[in-house]
Amino acid sequence: MLQALENLKEMVGIEIAPSITYCDINKQGPDKYNLVNWDISDAYSSLIMMQGLLVANIWEKKTGEGQHIEIDHERAMEQMYRPFFIHVNGKPQNIAGLGRHTSLTHKTKDGRFIETMNTFNRLHEKTLEVLDSSPSKDKVDAAYASKTALEWEEQLNAEGLSCAIHRTRDEFRATEQGQYLDSITPFEVTPLGTGSIVPF
């Protein structure tokens, strides 16, 4: 892992040593995802560490203060695709609903397309209730084709389920959400090293 970090430092061309910033990748404790031998987990932890070192390097040059950067190996891996690592009250959740026929893209009565996502079985089953359908692909497709995209979006969302119409840019901007986003500045770009110093 340390070699991967050194390779990254060389690739991006930053000069960190000599430095009072130090880093630590935590691989202690129970390895609930069996990551000890996963090269991809090492690589991902190293990438996150590199981001921390880049920021810490700017901070150290401005203030002379070093940082202790600690990356938790398991948490780093979780960031790669969070649905696979969802825990509620410390217990892993079954995401068997992901990829079922009630999920993903469907053509509706008016020829438009909707996107649904039913990661958990309970959402998959609730969607089947709303569709009044069996879980077979043909039945689910026929059910989605029985109403317009807007009808499904409103009905499924009213039931606390996910459904979004595939909209053009102009169509999205005409929605309430699109109008709100158009009225604000979602983020402001400040070049690294030029903003005021903010401790972290």
Tell me, what's the pLDDT at 1?
47
Of 41, 64, 88, the one marking the end of a domain is: 88
Query: Quick check: is 49 in a domain?
Result: yes
Tell me, what's the pLDDT at 86?
66
Supply the CATH number for residue 168's domain: 3.30.1540.10
Tell me, what's the pLDDT at 21?
47
Co-location of 146 and 118 in the same domain: yes
- Determine the distance from the C-alpha atom of residue 190 to the mean position of all C-alpha atoms in its chain, rounded to a whole number: 24
Co-location of 113 and 157 in the same domain: yes
Query: Quick check: is 198 in a domain?
Result: no
**What are the distances in angstroms from CA 140 to CA 124, 131, 171, 184?**
11, 7, 27, 39
Tell me, what's the pLDDT at 14?
47
* Sign, Cα dihedral of 34, 37, 39, 42: positive
Co-location of 102 and 175 in the same domain: yes
Query: Quick check: is 188 in a domain?
Result: no
**What are the distances in angstroms from CA 151 to CA 41, 113, 141?**
43, 12, 15
Show Cβ contacts of residue 61 under 8 Å, excluding neighbours closer than 6 positions.
Answer: none
Give residue-wise pLDDT tens across range 30-65: 555 454 445 666 777 777 788 888 888 888 888 888
113-116 and 164-165 beta bridge pairing: antiparallel
Query: Quick check: is 110 in a domain?
Result: yes
Of 58, 88, 118, the one marking the end of a domain is: 88
Co-location of 107 and 132 in the same domain: yes
Domain that holds residue 119: 96-183
- The stretches in the chain having pLDDT less than 50 are 1, 12-19, 21, 29, 33, 35-37
Q: Which residues of 72-99 are buried (b: 16+ CB within 10 A; e: fewer)?
A: bbbebbbeeeeeebeeeeeeeeeeebbe
Tell me, what's the pLDDT at 100?
82
